[in-house]
Amino acid sequence: MSVAIQKLLDGIPVIPVLALNNVDSAPALANALIDGGLPALEITLRTPQAMDVIAAIKEACPKAIVGAGTVNTPEQAELCAKAGVDFMVSPGLFRPLLDVARDTKIPYLPGVATASEVLMAINEGLTACKFFPAQQAGGIAMLKALAGPYGEMIFCPTGGINADNFRDFLALDNVFCVGGSWTAPGDLISNNAWGEITDRAKFCLS
């Protein structure tokens, strides 16, 4: 499962994390990010329209790698599987969610924030996890500390990651990508500022 998520996101340093409620504009947003070089999108299940947004992007944007974020229950994971998501992300580590991911073979990135949770993940056979909330859980210093006892684990930090610090996280040997909303903030989405969003995506690769 961890190998699958690593292969899926290989070469993609930043995953835009998106909480969207406008289904009609979702494909335009996705294309703006894809045009900027960021095809992997995490659509969080924080809005009632999230599953419709996922379906709209899946249908209209074949180049998009569409993931579901904030997957908190096995029932949500089953819905994501039926929707054909390319990957799933959750804020924490929960064995029943792991079971659904394994049964459906969907690449899955569970969240961890402590050394104990990383140990649990390793003993579940995982080698890649989301580190959340990254800044509040100790940020770069915590990730460096985890690298010692848990050298086999790599992370995707999210939470407090922004245009000013994302490269500092990506410079760590145990970080393979980061996630955040700065590439497509709500005000730019509301104003259909697709060109500026594309430029922000390109900045992540510069």
Burial class (CB in 10 A: 0-12, 13-18, 19+), 152: exposed
DSSP assignments along 53-76, one per residue: HHHHHHHH-TT-EEEEE---SHHH
pLDDT for the residue 179: 98
Specify the amino acid at residue 178: V
Q: Which amino acids are annotated catalytic? A: 42, 130
Does 47 score more than 80 pLDDT?
A: yes
Does 127 score more than 80 pLDDT?
A: yes
47 vs 34: CA distance, rounded Å:
22
E strand intervals along the chain? 14-18, 40-44, 65-69, 87-89, 108-109, 111-112, 128-131, 154-157, 178-180
Model confidence pLDDT, tens digit, residues 134-162: 999 999 999 999 999 999 999 999 999 99
Q: Given pLDDT bands bounded at 50, 70 and 90, which one contains residue 38?
A: very high
What integer is the mean pLDDT of 191-200?
98
* 151 SS3 class: coil
Residue with tokens 């580190």: 131
Counting residues of the chain whose pLDDT is more than 90, the rounded percentage is 99
Q: Given pLDDT bands bounded at 50, 70 and 90, which one contains residue 2?
A: confident
* 186 SS3 class: helix
Does 1 score more than 80 pLDDT?
A: no
Q: Are strands 40-44 and 111-112 parallel, antiparallel or unpaired?
A: unpaired
**Is the CB of residue 21 less than 8 Å from the CB of residue 73?**
no
Domains of the chain: 2-200 (3.20.20.70)
What integer is the mean pLDDT of 57-65?
98
Does 129 score more than 90 pLDDT?
A: yes
Does 132 score more than 90 pLDDT?
A: yes
Mean pLDDT of the chain: 97
Question: What global pTM score does this model have?
Answer: 0.96
Model confidence pLDDT, tens digit, residues 79-111: 999 999 999 999 999 999 999 999 999 999 999
DSSP label of 106? -
Q: Given pLDDT bands bounded at 50, 70 and 90, which one contains residue 3?
A: confident
Does 199 score more than 80 pLDDT?
A: yes
What integer is the mean pLDDT of 122-130?
97
Counting residues of the chain whose pLDDT is more than 70, the rounded percentage is 100
What dihedral angle (degrees, nearest 10) is formed by the CA atoms of 23, 64, 31, 201? 120
